Amino acid sequence: MEKKWWHKSVVYQVYPRSFQDSNGDGIGDLNGLISRLDYIAELGADLIWLCPVYASPNDDNGYDISDYYSIHPEFGSMDDMDRLISEAARRGICIMMDIVANHTSDEHPWFIESRKNKDNPYRDFYVWKDGAEGGPPSSLQSIFSGSAWNYDPLTQQYYLHMFSRKQPDLNWHHPAVRLALYDVMRFWIKKGIKGFRFDVIDLIAKDLEKDIIANGPLLHEYLQEMHREVLEGTEVVTVGETGGADLDQAILYTDPSRKELDMVFAFQHIALDEIPGKQKWDLKTLESSDLKRVLSAWQTGLSEKGWNSLFWSNHDQPRIVSRWGNDGKFRYESATMFAVLLHLMKGTPYIYQGEEIGMTNVKFPELNYYRDIETFNMYKERNAAGHSHDNIMNSIYVKGRDNARTPMQWNTENNAGFTEGVPWIDVNSNFAVINAASDSESNQSIFRFYQKLIQLRKSNDIVIYGDYQLLDSEPEVFAYERIFKDEKWVIICNLSDKTVQSSLPGSLNGELLIHNYSVPYQSQTLHPYEALVYKLQN
């Protein structure tokens, strides 16, 4: 396997709106982020995935871009952006930009032109269709609820929007669209960014005649074109969000010889608590055996060709300690156990802001405390379909995206040190207990544990390139080995809140590299969420 600089990287994802406000308007911004670069450097991350900071009407918090070439004033200026890039570089940190290429804002000049008339040169930048039988062209549903088609009276046609009405889908089959987006990428590469995260990249090559939305027939051709036109010969790392991708598709995207993307975010493992074929709001309990099966399949499947991205959370997902761990009594143990499980696997780990201090889901008392358009649309839809208020609120508590979007909890000061003004979304009321300052003073610091895991990765090639082997164990125990040259590491994690008598050896002859309990591991007993890593003597 050809070595790449990002094989060794650890990514820290920043949702800038909620990270650090610098001017008291309640909105996190670039200067705020710059003031926290030392914190990210101290953690040991060396790449920041920066969620969109471009000009945007904020219908979907920046995922509706109205100008790819400018910074939204609420985040700062292009000068601030340049300063972010250079200040990060000074600390050995690179910036990965989030490119939303499947759709723009309806306030993007391309769409403003496109909707004017059917002969406009920008008409084909988007997907326009006549209605059928007095209604939309098809029954296609938007991912944010309701029809994916919106009627525009001016030209009496419908345009496609897989997300909100203010996020019209671009038509990638139109060559000028692709060229325009390649220009955007070149502009940012020239500025010195070192990575791109591509939003819903699996949706770009739709074939509407055949009802294909994700993974359209021309998808890989377009990605190869993009690679040729923009990425070839650069050191820029790419990760595509491909929610529905299975392992075979992931290999197609990430096999280096195909020259498409470096990694993808696939959702198979984080969809394990959803009912297949239903919406994400329809819940089932996670079976640990499913988690072992899926993660192991990806570890093995991408071991020769391609590369894994490793993640539990992002700005769309609930917090991992609340979701599959324990956000009360065993918050430290479960946060660190999930960290061990992921960070010793093969691939590039992504840490979502706040995960490194064990931030939890939020439970606001009323709907009007929430901010996310997906949440509001779902509420309306389910309410109209007869679901009870309590039932819907419960789904929001468990799965709503705002769980990940409450402000970063820095300290015990006003608004957790996030802002001196009124935050755009309330701070989680548990900030007096859960915050970065208190965490670092605690003898059970989650941050320091992450730091140690990152150091282990940075100083041991076995973590980057070692082979992966799942070990036989009880269903609630996830244990695996990494093997590299004459070295072997064994990783043991108890996924449950129970003490487990395990069939794995109760004492291991080797060096204990990291452990989230202070009592020694013995007699095959695993405490709730216990996690440990041994380097075995061969």
3-state secondary structure 39-80: HHHHHCCCEEEECCCEECCCCCCCCCCCEEEEECCCCCCHHH
Q: Is 54 in the site for ligand TEU (CB under 6 A)?
A: no
Cβ–Cβ < 8 Å for 199, 101? yes
DSSP letter assigned to residue 98: E
Q: Which does 316 bind (CB under 5 to 8 A by kind): Ca ion, ligand TEU, none?
A: ligand TEU
Q: Is 401 in the site for ligand TEU (CB under 6 A)?
A: yes
Q: Is 207 in the site for Ca ion (CB under 5 A)?
A: no
Nearer CB in complex with Ca ion: 57/256: 57
* The only residue of 29, 106, 316, 333 in contact with ligand TEU, by rule CB under 6 A: 316
The amino acid that residue 387 corresponds to is: H
CA 523 to chain centroid: 38
Nearer CB in complex with ligand TEU: 88/239: 239
Question: Both tokens of residue 169?
Answer: 């889908």
Q: Which of 59, 74, 202, 241 is catalytic?
A: 241
Q: How far is the CB of 525 from Ca ion (least distance, A)?
A: 50
Looking at 434-524, which runs of residues are DSSP E strands? Answer: 467-470, 477-484, 487-494, 500-501, 510-515
Nearer CB in complex with Ca ion: 27/219: 27
Query: How far is the C-alpha of 527 from the C-alpha of 497, rounded, in Å?
Result: 8
Query: How far is the C-alpha of 428 from the C-alpha of 418, rounded, in Å?
Result: 11
Nearer CB in complex with ligand TEU: 49/431: 49
Q: Which does 355 bind (CB under 5 to 8 A by kind): Ca ion, ligand TEU, none?
A: none
* The only residue of 115, 123, 165, 280 in contact with ligand TEU, by rule CB under 6 A: 280
Q: Is 316 in the site for Ca ion (CB under 5 A)?
A: no
Q: Is 402 in the site for ligand TEU (CB under 6 A)?
A: no
Q: Is 21 in the site for Ca ion (CB under 5 A)?
A: yes
* The only residue of 7, 8, 23, 420 in contact with Ca ion, by rule CB under 5 A: 23
Q: Which does 318 bind (CB under 5 to 8 A by kind): ligand TEU, Ca ion, none?
A: none
Give the C-alpha distances (Å, rounded to integers) separating 468 from 93, 267, 503, 529: 28, 20, 20, 21
Q: How far is the CB of 241 from ligand TEU (least distance, A)?
A: 6
With tokens 């606001």, the residue in question is 364
Q: How far is the CB of 62 from ligand TEU (least distance, A)?
A: 9
The amino acid that residue 92 corresponds to is: G
Q: How far is the CB of 413 from Ca ion (least distance, A)?
A: 17
* Residue 277 three-state SS: coil
Q: Which does 23 bind (CB under 5 to 8 A by kind): Ca ion, ligand TEU, none?
A: Ca ion
Q: Is 290 a catalytic residue?
A: no
Query: How far is the C-alpha of 110 from the C-alpha of 105, rounded, in Å?
Result: 9
Q: Is 199 a catalytic residue?
A: yes
Q: Which of 106, 199, 262, 356 is catalytic?
A: 199
With tokens 């930009």, the residue in question is 97
Nearer CB in complex with ligand TEU: 245/463: 245
Query: How far is the C-alpha of 10 from the C-alpha of 19, rounded, in Å?
Result: 18
Query: How far is the C-alpha of 351 from the C-alpha of 339, rounded, in Å?
Result: 9
Site for Ca ion in 25-44 (CB under 5 A): 25, 27, 29
Q: Is 163 in the site for ligand TEU (CB under 6 A)?
A: yes
Q: How far is the CB of 264 from ligand TEU (least distance, A)?
A: 13
Nearer CB in complex with Ca ion: 275/422: 422
Give the C-alpha distances (Å, rounded to integers) separating 224 from 41, 258, 393: 34, 7, 43
Q: Which does 29 bind (CB under 5 to 8 A by kind): Ca ion, ligand TEU, none?
A: Ca ion
DSSP 378-425: HHHHHHHTT--HHHHHHHHHHH-GGGGTSPP---SSGGGGS-SS--SS
Q: Is 53 in the site for ligand TEU (CB under 6 A)?
A: no
Cβ–Cβ < 8 Å for 316, 271? no
Site for ligand TEU in 228-257 (CB under 6 A): 241, 243
Q: Which does 163 bind (CB under 5 to 8 A by kind): ligand TEU, Ca ion, none?
A: ligand TEU
Cβ–Cβ < 8 Å for 502, 473? yes
Q: How far is the CB of 324 from ligand TEU (least distance, A)?
A: 16
Site for ligand TEU in 321-360 (CB under 6 A): none
* Residue 346 three-state SS: coil
Q: Which does 279 bind (CB under 5 to 8 A by kind): ligand TEU, Ca ion, none?
A: none
Q: How far is the CB of 29 from Ca ion (least distance, A)?
A: 4
Cβ–Cβ < 8 Å for 386, 380? no
Q: Is 356 in the site for Ca ion (CB under 5 A)?
A: no
**Residues marked as catalytic:** 199, 241
Chain contacts with ligand TEU (rule: CB under 6 A): 60, 63, 100, 143, 163, 199-200, 241, 243, 280, 315-316, 374, 401
Chain contacts with Ca ion (rule: CB under 5 A): 21, 23, 25, 27, 29
